[in-house]
A and B are shown apart, each in its own frame.
Chain A
Amino acid sequence: MSVVAGSVGASTASLRRARVMGILFLLVGVLIVLVFGLGSEGGVVSRLGLNPARAETLFRLPDLVLPARSTAFLLGAVCAFLGGVQLSRGFERRVNLVIAIVLVLFVFAFLTWAARDRSLSLLGMLQSTLLRSVPITFGALSGVLCERAGVINIAIEGMLLTSAFTASVAASLTDSLWIGLLSGAIVGGLVAGLLALLAIRYQVDQIVAGTVINILALGLTSYLTDQFLQRNQELNNPGRFQNVPIPGLSDVPILGPVAFDQNVLVYLMMAIVAASFFGLFYTRWGLRVRAVGEHPKAADTVGIRVLFTRYRNVILGGVVAGIGGAYFSLGAVGRFEEGMTAGRGFIGLAAMIFGRWNPIGAFAAALIFGFADSLQVKLNILRVGIPSEFLAMAPYLVTILIVAGAAHRVRPPAADGKPYLKE
């Protein structure tokens, strides 16, 4: 009898969750209709731009011109419909996809409302989403490489910062962006070497070691900036990598200008995402790395060098973070500024968790953070009536929400953060 009670107890919990989801979809639909629909004056249109700023493109798309009010009504109705289906029939396993769809619909409805009676370059937003996700992706990949081998890396922020500084100075001194990039990568690797030494050799608590490195990086770069760069501006004037459109691909509508008309660091990021994904899950190298991160003793007994693997991966992770750091000074801003990474390393860490320690997942998560970031900038420009200070909190708020929601459902590598002791 109680057998039945037990299994019923388990299924009522999931049933309740399914119901909550359905109600949530319904509420989102109602919200869209009430706020964005009734909040828009009748007859007003929103213009969403789909073309790049530069004039000459092979295919020119017409701008998306939408009646603000009826668009909101339509989108709200779709959300409500999805909620109804979820409540009556249930999407079961595909519910996560539906959550994503509802989220996208909500955001789109919001943008249409925000752009009512004005025009907003949707393409520009997508471009800046990708750009803002670049350093986060590099940070997340750095974390993936370290943690898949079993070393927690919360020093990503510090690595980004030191290499951003180094890349700027080296490029200014040598007048070569490439040497700047290389120096940034090397310094990232060196900082990671310090983390590896503390974590692997001396078995310092890895959170503490990472925190120390972050503080060191912030202090050191700020001090050096104050002491030298302020007075010698020529040391901090590296220039920037220019965009290199990829012939053919860059003319594809929407995707072309977003993904294939970028600077070399963005392409490098995409290459590293792909390489680390295939490397981790389809090669001998990756199988061994993951074995070390999951069950180092098992790896040891079949002859895999656990400590070597960890040193190598942490340093590799440092190099990747170093390239990400160089992006700040050489890819985005064109100079080094104190504390310019502004927590992007930590957001990268969140992207890694949300992306389930998978490079592609991490990249997708970084895009969400990048979108939140670019959204707040756009809203600031559109003056939607929310103080800019609050808008600037958007990416961090999204981080907290996502990590809080995802943290208990994802499983890190089993030996993550645990030093390996040979008896």
Chain B
Amino acid sequence: MRLQLKGVTKRFPGLVANDSVDLTVAEGEIHALLGENGAGKTTLMNIVYGLYRADGGEILLDGSPVHFGSPRHAIGAGLGMVHQHFMLVPVFTVTENVMLGIESTRRFGFLDRREAAQRVREISQRYGLEVPPDAVVEELPVGVQQRVEILKALYREAQILILDEPTAVLTPQETEDLFEVMRSLQEAGKSIIFITHKLKEVLAIADRITVMSRGRVVGTTTPGETSEEELAAMMVGRAVRLRVDKAPADTRGPVLEVLDVVVLDDRGQVAVDGVSLTVQAGEIVCVAGVQGNGQTELVEAVTGLRPIASGSIRLLGRDVTGASPRGFLRAGVGHVPEDRQRDGLVLDFSIADNLVLNTHGSAPFARWIVRDDEAIRAAAQERVAAFDIRTLSVEQPVATLSGGNQQKVIIGREFSRPIRLLVASQPTRGLDVGSIEYIHERLVEKRDQGAAVLIVSVELDEVLALADRIAVMYRGKILNILPADTAEPERIGLLMAGSLGEGEGPGG
């Protein structure tokens, strides 16, 4: 089936999400839709899938115009979408999730689970999508959940599959498996629209590539005709440096020493399982790993936000085990949290107030118990300039800023204190390439000034770009710590999936 979009336009209050977009996806084609966060890729696909209504333009399937008022119509016409956040009911079984909406039933609407499970098995065999039909979804690994999503679309006999950022949650190996599945779907004549912002993947799998930027299509090309640099330039609208320039690390003694630390998660399960790690002044240590392998809890432990069950934490030689978050703060720890909107900022507070969230209580921002608004405003103006925060006024609520500028507010706040250790968790998640570039440079600059930097990231490219040493975390353990200059991406990928090389024991 061939999909054509002509002049599709979608406006939200205050912005044009899709500005007269043209796109053609041929039958049996893997078509990559490349663009930064906020470029309008997902909005466009939500229109195709009937979740949003376009303000203008038309959609043609095999040449005839269609109007989808709801996903139900789109599904009926042969479209399937795998959303970035899975649309699976966690407490249902695989079969229940797959059949939901088009259930096989016997008399009186009683479910025929056996028949449905049989069809699930057939489809999984045909396309090499291994799933256990009777397993409860929430107990399956993310990669398998994604297969369930794809199966759901195939169960509805989708001819065109839309995959929205499918690799964001996968290990490199799982990504390879997914590509394998995509190729077998392609052989069966299905078309695939592959939404992503990862350049390497696009070049590896796509037949054709459409690049979007600020709601518009800025070009269509094929992997043979282009390169990573060119694609990045198309996405951003200017030449981008993909690599961070940095000198070799000049280490000056340990700052953070984590010894045999065990941390429990919210459900009381062991999340960090006996981790030992040292970060020296003047180096960047990156913790690589797939999301949910204990990184969050580790970061919370070394910033004092979560008590540790056993082990010890030392800062500059001083034992800070059990200290309060404020204790860590005062000892010179800066924290760029994983969820900037929930844990990093008070969204309704002004930029100025957010810039002094952890220093407002003492001079120069307070005299005795009274705030010094003048000093706060002056400092804010200075930092807005120094950290390139794009805003009209420091009095604006921080919620009105873009993600990149919000992150700069946090960076500005943490970097304006004399910190000895910086802990940054997913520092560039969801940011545009320009902001990523900027934040990477500041992180390296902080290292060069002699701070110890601990970065947690699930983006392997980011880890490889920034790290002096790479610690790979899997199921709460650090499997190995590798020097970045000799680390091969394949090796790290394997470690992220929990596989140790031959003859190696868990290090660290």
Contact = CB atoms under 8 A, between A and B. Distances in A.
A58 interface: no
A301 B51 contact: yes
A300 B273 contact: no
A294 B71 contact: no
B75 A303 contact: yes
Contacts of B96: 287
Contacts of A5: 262, 274, 310
A7 B83 CA distance: 36
A283 B111 contact: yes
B108 A294 contact: no
B368 interface: no
A357 to B, nearest CB: 11
B310 A283 contact: no
B84 to A, nearest CB: 12
Interface stretch (B87-95, B248-256, B321-329, B421-429): B87-95
B91 A294 contact: yes
Interface stretch (B99-107, B208-216, B464-472, B496-504): B99-107
Given A282-B111, A294-B92, A287 B100 contact: yes
Contacts of A304: 100-101
A301 B71 contact: yes
A290 B83 contact: no
Contacts of B358: none
A285 interface: yes
Interface in A367-386: none
Contact of A284 (B83, B87, B105): B105
Interface string B258-274: 00111000001110011
Contact of A2 (B70, B103, B274): B274
A295 B91 CA distance: 10
Contacts of B103: 284, 287
Contact of B260 (A2, A9, A295, A297): A2
**Residue from A10, A283, A291, A302 having most chain B Cβ neighbours under 10 A:** A302
B273 A283 contact: no
Interface in A267-297: 278, 282-285, 287-288, 290-291, 294-295, 297
Contacts of A278: 110
Contact of A301 (B83, B109, B260, B270): B83
Interface in A1-36: 1-3, 5-7, 9-10, 13
Interface in B16-68: 51-52
A283 B110 contact: yes
A299 interface: yes
Nearest to B99: A287
B72 interface: yes
Given A2-B262, A282-B110, A287-B111, A298 B71 contact: no
Contacts of B268: 10, 13
Contact of B273 (A2, A294, A295, A303): A2
A12 to B, nearest CB: 12
Residue from the set B92, B152, B311 with the largest chain A CB neighbour count within 10 Å: B92
Contact of A291 (B92, B260, B274): B92
Nearest to A285: B109
A300 B89 CA distance: 12
A3 B71 contact: no
Contacts, number: 100
A278 B274 CA distance: 47
Contacts of A66: none
Contact of A303 (B71, B91, B92): B71
A386 B237 CA distance: 83
B81 interface: yes
B309 interface: yes
B100 A299 contact: yes
Nearest to B85: A297
B277 to A, nearest CB: 13
A414 interface: yes
Nearest to B12: A423
B90 A295 contact: yes
Given A283-B109, A300-B71, A302-B75, A3 B101 contact: no
B155 to A, nearest CB: 10
Interface in B328-378: none
Contacts of B311: 2
Interface residues of A, number: 30
Nearest to B263: A6
Given A283-B109, A291-B92, A297 B87 contact: yes
Contacts of B51: 301, 423
Contacts of A7: 270
Nearest to A299: B100
B309 A6 contact: yes
Contacts of B83: 301
A350 B471 CA distance: 49
Contacts of B109: 283-285
A294 B88 CA distance: 9
B370 to A, nearest CB: 37
Contacts of B81: 301
B89 A6 contact: no
A180 B273 CA distance: 64
B315 to A, nearest CB: 20
Given A2-B262, A2-B311, A6-B262, A294 B90 contact: yes
Contacts of B261: 2
A301 B101 CA distance: 9
Contacts of A285: 109
Contact of B90 (A284, A287, A414): A414
Contacts of A299: 89, 100-101
B111 to A, nearest CB: 6
A6 B309 CA distance: 8
A285 B86 CA distance: 23
Contacts of B101: 288, 299, 302-304
A111 B105 CA distance: 49
A283 B268 CA distance: 36
Given A7-B270, A304-B101, A298 B89 contact: yes
Q: Which of A283, A285, A300, A301 counts the most B-chain CB atoms under 10 A from its CB?
A: A301
A13 B83 CA distance: 40
Interface in B85-140: 86-92, 96-97, 99-103, 105, 108-111
For B72, B89, B92, B111, the residue with the greatest tally of chain A CB atoms inside 10 Å of its CB is B89
Nearest to B86: A298
Contact of A3 (B75, B86, B91, B273): B273
B310 A2 contact: yes
A291 B89 contact: yes
Contacts of B87: 295, 297-298, 301-302
A287 B92 CA distance: 9
A290 B90 CA distance: 11
Contacts of B100: 287-288, 291, 298-299, 302, 304
A388 B485 CA distance: 81
A281 to B, nearest CB: 9
A304 B89 CA distance: 13
A302 B111 contact: no
Contacts of A2: 260-262, 273-274, 310-311
* Among A1, A278, A298, A423: residue with most chain B CB under 10 A: A298
22 contacts: A1-B274, A2-B260, A5-B262, A6-B273, A9-B262, A9-B270, A9-B310, A10-B268, A13-B268, A284-B105, A284-B110, A288-B100, A288-B101, A294-B92, A295-B89, A298-B87, A298-B89, A299-B100, A301-B71, A303-B70, A303-B75, A304-B100
The 5 closest A-B pairs by CB, nearest first: A303-B72, A302-B101, A2-B274, A298-B87, A6-B270
Given A10-B270, A423-B52, 12 more contacts: A2-B261, A2-B273, A6-B309, A284-B105, A284-B110, A284-B111, A287-B99, A291-B89, A294-B91, A299-B100, A301-B51, A302-B152
